[in-house]
């Protein structure tokens, strides 16, 4: 038993001596380990930055692809809402056409066509499309008018002004989308 106690005590002393040696060795060689750890820290930081950059690049690339796909889908279906709104007007025109074949009452046909026209115009207005108004008698403006021809002015006050409108002009949310085709007095 004494031998066992001595061997245990000897082992404990060895462990203590080894720990003391490591502490003193560590303090003597602390500078190279710090330099190595700084280098390792920088390598790790560089690797993290590279990884972060790669992830950001991938996210941006995915975002770009997704937005391109969404734009393509939007272009394909851009007119869907307006066409859905126009379908009832088309149905009215088909009923009017069928009615023209069956009846000779032109007064009721005229009333029906006027109703369809008003429905169509209200649909335009609800979507931001407005016809140009008060064109006849106004000064010719090349920003909103397209002169088809010039005719002698019926009166002196109509010289350089719009005498007649051949084709109506339209604005979509204050942007001219079709110039009014007009006849100008000279």
Q: Within a domain: residue 23?
A: no
When divided into structural domains, the chain yields a total of 3
- 151 shares a domain with 109: no
- 179 shares a domain with 140: yes
Compute the distance between CA of residue 168 and CA of residue 65 in angstroms, rounded to an integer: 42
Domain that includes residue 101, residue range: 83-127
Residue 135: phi and psi, rounded to 5, are -85, -45
Residue 62: phi and psi, rounded to 5, are -65, -40
- 73 shares a domain with 99: no
- 74 shares a domain with 43: yes
Pairing type for strands 170-172 and 129-131 reads antiparallel
- 180 shares a domain with 141: yes
pTM flag (> 0.75):
no
- 184 shares a domain with 139: yes
> What are the tens digits of pLDDT across the range 122-164?
988 888 899 988 888 888 888 899 999 999 888 888 888 899 9
| Element housing 176 (H / E) | strand 175-178
DSSP lists the bridge partners of residue 165 as 182
């Amino acid at each position: 038993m004494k031998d066992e106690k001595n061997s245990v005590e000897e082992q404990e002393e060895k462990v203590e001596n080894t720990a003391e040696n490591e502490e003193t060795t560590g303090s003597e060689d602390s500078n190279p380990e710090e330099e190595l750890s700084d280098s390792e820290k920088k390598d790790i930081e560089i690797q993290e930055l590279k990884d972060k950059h790669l992830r950001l690049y991938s996210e941006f690339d995915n975002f770009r692809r997704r937005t391109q796909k969404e734009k393509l889908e939007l272009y394909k279906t851009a007119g869907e809402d307006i066409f859905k709104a126009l379908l009832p007007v088309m149905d009215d025109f088909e009923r009017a056409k069928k009615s023209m074949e069956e009846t000779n009452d032109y007064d009721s046909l005229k009333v029906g066509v006027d109703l369809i026209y008003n429905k169509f115009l209200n649909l335009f207005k609800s979507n931001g499309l407005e016809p140009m108004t008060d064109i006849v008698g106004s000064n010719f403006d090349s920003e909103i008018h397209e002169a088809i021809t010039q005719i002698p002015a019926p009166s002196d006050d109509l010289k350089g002004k719009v005498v007649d409108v051949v084709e109506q002009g339209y604005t979509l949310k204050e942007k001219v989308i079709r110039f009014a085709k007009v006849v100008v007095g000279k």
